[in-house]
Amino acid sequence: MHTFSLAQLRAGLDRREFSSVELTQHFLGRIAAHDRLLNSFVTVTDDEALKAAHAADARIAAGSAGPLTGIPYAHKDIFCTQGVRTTCGSRMLRDFIAPYNATVHEKLQQGGAVMLGKTNMDEFAMGSTSESSHFGITRNPWNPDCVPGGSSGGSAAAVGARLAPVATGTDTGGSIRQPAAFCGITGIKPTYGRVSRYGMIAYASSLDQGGAMGASAEDCALLLQAMAGFDPLDSTSVDREVPDYRAALDADLTGLRIGLPREWFGEGLDAEVARVLEAALDEYRRLGAEVVDVSLPNSELAIPAYYVIAPAEASSNLSRYDGVRFGHRCEAPRDLEDLYKRSRGEGFGEEVKRRIMIGTYALSAGYYDAYYLKAQQIRRLIAEDFRRALSGVDVLMGPVAPFAAPAVGQMSEDPVQMYLSDIYTLSVNLAGLPGMSVPAGFAGGKPVGLQIIGNYFEEARLLNVAHRFQQATDWHTRVPAAFA
């Protein structure tokens, strides 16, 4: 059952070929058997999952099942879940149990989906390798000596190993697309404002966006359908109708215009990754698409702009963790200042501290105009680049990362190299556009993802473009031998 698509699982449940309880037990058994190697879960909610599965079976028997009723899923441990701890991969929130549900979680629960547990992640979503978690590193199911990407690495590894059919993720600068690419799965970051951020613990509020991760574009379409929509509890949520993502999947691609940003295919892109991407583009040509060159001239400015804006917002968002109201509190503080210093010093990891320091500096008196304001101006230039490029094409395509999954420890020892690995994904978040990663082949035995970027609120088009590619190829069906 773990190799079935969501459509196959839905059909099997509706035909009573298996129950949600049996399906949930199957995936819980796989987690118990395999996750010691991957460490993709922080918390496994066995009892809660089986209780939800029993309720789902009752809904199915009553004829009131929705598309996700009885379907198990994994939840990135950044979404608040009432009664179940939400850690953000940090010692600071190691024992935090939220008193309310994130809107995304509420939507999935109302739809009858079954949460298997909460997945591991880079601490407070700050990282590109899933090595900064207080709960230990997560490993890549295709090669345990390699990282799964980050920050949604736990979700990507769980889906890649088929420990869960689908999973939620969040993307601030590539944190859905990059781990999806490294783990050989499909992941979509929707337009900023499409998915509610209420109850999604903030890293950088103007960049964070929840999204879907699954084996295929069709699976992502079904999950995103349940997640998306306006939320009055989120001031950044956009009040715009959500289309039927699945209905548009089979649209013909004849005449589709694909733009290739020439800045993304030069120096720095691994030759084997480039070969895989060229083969994928050839497949699109066979499907009737036209490939043209476009330019994103300010692409090289995305990294410095992002690594000013995101840490600045993080320094503000993380100031609430002071040891007073919730989160880690140091032992026997001498006074209030000691409480603040030691609670934060003990509760946060090195990467989080580094970004708080950078962000606080960028926002400090005398430096705000020179750094933060300038970065926001660059952000506008990047958005304008995308507007011009997308005015003449339907979608953009390119690499997700310059290379396939690196070895454990390779980038965590060199933060600058880790930051540079996000060069193709950061600009999409700065512009607020939708983007996704689609399995396109292998380089050195490791998965490679093709990035597809569309105009605002054109998630349906991206999913259609990805789905037709997946109908013509089988990369998305490949499962690591150890987890087949």
Q: Is 175 labeled as catalytic in the residue annotation?
A: yes
Give yes or no for a cis peptide into 235 (omega within 30° of 0): no
Burial of 243 (0-12, 13-18, 19+ CB in 10 A): middle
Q: Which of 132, 175, 343, 437 is catalytic?
A: 175
Cα distances (Å, whole numbers) of residue 68 to 108, 114, 214, 219, 361: 8, 9, 13, 10, 45
Q: Which of 5, 76, 216, 421 is catalytic?
A: 76
Q: Cβ distance 166 to 210 under 8 Å?
A: no
Q: Is 427 labeled as catalytic in the residue annotation?
A: no
Q: Cβ distance 293 to 324 under 8 Å?
A: no
Q: Is 40 labeled as catalytic in the residue annotation?
A: no
The string over 123-154, giving b where at least 16 C-beta atoms fall within 10 Å of a residue's C-beta and e elsewhere, is bbbbbbbbbbbbbebbbbbbbbebbbbbbbbb
In degrees, rounded to 5, the angle at the alpha carbon of residue 49 between the alpha carbons of residues 37 and 85 is 70
Q: Which of 151, 152, 196, 315 is catalytic?
A: 151
Point out the residues that are catalytic.
Answer: 76, 151, 175
